[in-house]
Structure 1
Amino acid sequence: MIDKDSMTKEDVLNEWKTKRAIKEKNSHVVWNWTQCLLMVFCIINFLIAEKKYAFGIMTILGISELLEKILYYKETKDQSVIKEIIGLVLLTLGLLIVTIAEYIGK
């Protein structure tokens, strides 16, 4: 990366375009996995828990968002994403615990 102080408008625009392209590529990869996880979850949910699905779906979507942020961080090393990753990890763990408790409590 270029030193932030010596960047021209074109450099800033090119860096932004590069980061945006990486985000879009990662979004497609993560979304494909998310769709597969949601289908598997819906089948398991139908067989086991009948109507309890909201927390499970939110957990899967949280995991997909977390994976997207991690892939973005690995490719760009953008330090501003770390706080978002930590927040998503905590949120997803909380949702996972609630989902597991919901299934155990059935």
Structure 2
Amino acid sequence: MDHSSHEPLQAGEIIAANVKGTDIYGPDDKVMGNVSEMLGTGQYARAVIEVGGFFGIGVKQVALDMSRIDFMRDENGKVLAHTKMSKVELKNLPKHRG
């Protein structure tokens, strides 16, 4: 997927109401998980990502700093996100305990 034509979200747009459920794409442009919630606001916020599993079984929640995620809108207005981290790297992060 070519993200170059996607419009980056502005900092004020990155709130739970806009990004909850957003698919997270990795370096291979495959969906690795999705945003289940946001922790905090602004540049120090963290997104809780549900990664792995199949039909909800074996899903692991990890918290990822906003500096590691690029949120954007595609040409249809759908919000999506991209990270340079691999699925293995995400799965190796500590489990988020909310």
Question: TM-score when scaled to structure 1?
Answer: 0.26
The structure with more radius of gyration:
1
Question: TM-score when scaled to structure 2?
Answer: 0.27
